[in-house]
Amino acid sequence: MKELLFSITKNDFRIDTFRGTGKGGQHRNKTDSAVRITHIDSGAVGTSQEDRSQHHNKIIAFRRLLETETWKIWFKKKCSQMLMNKNFEEELLKKVESLMEERNLKVEKFENGEWVVMNDAEIIKKIREETGRGMLDCKKAFIESGYDYEKAIQLLMSRERTRQLAGHPATYIEIDDSEEK
């Protein structure tokens, strides 16, 4: 499957038209049929004034531009640069995705002057202590918040306020799934 690396448009070129010299008579002397095409990034130039038609001269000038060494060198550099960037971006994306996997993420708390890693059970227990909600509610809020401690607490508090405003008593479901036995 072919994949587009980059595209070049008419805006990447400067197209100049001028009156051609040589034989051709009055038609040649009075019309701008000669063409010079310059690729702005590479500086490659192709010209043509052989034909009396400006359209045909554009085609010939463009072909000549593509045959210049300057163009070929620029094109090879651009292709290799785009391939290198693409490969680098793909590798970087894979690395970031692997680092962001749940098993690689850690939550730390500052305790007694040092940072201590907390596991999910400790975090849910802390959320439970702070909000007074059940284990299931805390675990659900922790997962919904994207494993963010503060967001989980805010989520539980906002749910509690919504229930109070609606006039519903708070309902708690308590399931003890602690691993202590």
What are the tens digits of pLDDT across the range 110-160? 778 887 777 666 777 777 777 776 666 777 776 777 666 677 777 777 777
Angle at 141 between CA 136 and CA 146, to 5 degrees: 130
Q: Output 138 or 78, whichever has higher pLDDT.
A: 78
What are the tens digits of pLDDT across the range 149-179? 677 777 777 777 666 666 655 554 455 555 5
- Backbone phi, then psi, for 9, in 5-degree steps? -115, 175
Residue 56 Cα distances to 14, 19, 50, 95, angstroms: 17, 14, 9, 51
Q: Could you tell me the two tokens for 143?
A: 């997962």
Percent of the chain residues topping a pLDDT of 90: 23
pLDDT of 62 over the 90 cut: yes
Alpha-carbon span 37 to 39, nearest angstrom: 7
Domains in the chain: ranges and CATH: 10-96 (3.30.160.20), 106-166 (1.10.8.10)
